[in-house]
């Protein structure tokens, strides 16, 4: 093979490698857009302002709260109440509690999910601990409120839904993001 063909092959391979790397980084935002558009995977659409002052008093929806903690996380994480009844359009405040049972500070992230998945686009949270990471000192306990409402357009066949959160250790994720950006990782 000639030197010219070898250089051309190397350039093509390098471009393909960079293209694959770029595609890998683009997958998460593309997946988020796909979930928002289709309403699949029970992903909630993030913070939303309350703009509908109508409350549908003819309907009562049962909302169940479920919490999970990653098996490697020495934490307690639970809702103040397991189930509530709400009317679509009604602003509701619920409280969750989390406690770091480890001997060190930790940064965690809660990932929400709604089921059935078709109900996810009708749940609007205006305040939630899941919007950001949370840092707890050793053995610290915190009250973490969620403020939400269900859209009055919630399909009539949905009378029950589950809002679940999975808590995981975000310290390593934050450290790797800081390293990628060239920042020093100062997470304890």
Which of residues 66 and 183 earns the better pLDDT score? Answer: 66
Residues 16 and 82 in one domain: no
Q: Residue 50 has what pLDDT?
A: 44
Q: Let me know: does 171 contact 187? Beta carbons within 8 Å.
A: yes
Range of the domain at 31: 1-38
Whether 41 shows a pLDDT value over 60: the answer reads: no
Residues 53 and 132 in one domain: yes
Whether 33 shows a pLDDT value over 70: the answer reads: no
In a domain, 186, yes or no: no
Q: Residue 180 has what pLDDT?
A: 40
DSSP per position, 117-161: GGGGGGEEEEE-GGGS-EEE-TT-EEEEEEEEEE-TTS-TT--EE
Q: Let me know: does 28 contact 111? Beta carbons within 8 Å.
A: no
Residues 5 and 45 in one domain: no
User: What does the block give as tokens for 172?
Assistant: 């390593």
Q: Residue 141 has what pLDDT?
A: 96
Residues 116 and 33 in one domain: no
In a domain, 73, yes or no: yes
Which of residues 47 and 174 earns the better pLDDT score? Answer: 174
pTM of the predicted protein model: 0.64
In a domain, 185, yes or no: no
In a domain, 51, yes or no: yes
Distance CA 184, CA 181 (A): 9
In a domain, 11, yes or no: yes
Distance between alpha carbon 84 and the CA centroid of its chain, in Å? 21
Asked if the peptide bond before residue 116 counts as cis, ω within 30 degrees of 0, the response is: yes
Distance CA 150, CA 118 (A): 12
Q: Let me know: does 147 contact 128? Beta carbons within 8 Å.
A: yes
Rounded percentage of the chain residues whose pLDDT exceeds 70: 74
Residues 46 and 137 in one domain: yes
Residues 19 and 34 in one domain: yes
Whether 1 shows a pLDDT value over 70: the answer reads: no
Distance CA 45, CA 39 (A): 9
Residues 135 and 82 in one domain: yes
Distances (CA, A) of 94 to 65, 84, 91, 112, 126: 9, 9, 10, 14, 12
pLDDT digits (tens, 9 = 90+) for 47-68: 444 444 588 999 999 999 999 9
């Amino acid at each position: 093979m000639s030197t010219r063909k070898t250089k051309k092959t190397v350039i093509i391979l390098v471009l393909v490698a960079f293209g694959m790397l770029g595609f890998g980084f683009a997958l998460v935002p593309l997946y988020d857009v796909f979930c928002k558009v289709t309403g699949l995977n029970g992903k909630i659409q993030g913070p939303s302002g309350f703009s509908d002052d109508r409350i549908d008093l003819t309907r009562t929806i049962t909302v169940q709260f479920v919490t999970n903690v990653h098996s490697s996380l020495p934490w307690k994480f639970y809702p103040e109440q397991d189930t509530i009844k709400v009317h679509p359009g009604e602003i509701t405040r619920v409280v969750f509690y989390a406690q770091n049972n480890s001997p060190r500070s930790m940064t965690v992230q809660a990932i929400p999910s709604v089921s059935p998945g078709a109900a996810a686009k009708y749940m609007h949270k205006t305040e939630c601990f899941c919007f950001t990471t949370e840092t707890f000192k050793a053995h610290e306990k915190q009250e973490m409120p969620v403020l939400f409402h269900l859209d009055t357009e919630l399909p009539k066949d949905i009378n029950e839904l589950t809002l679940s959160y999975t808590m995981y250790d975000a310290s390593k994720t934050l450290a790797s993001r800081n390293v990628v950006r060239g920042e020093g990782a100062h997470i304890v």
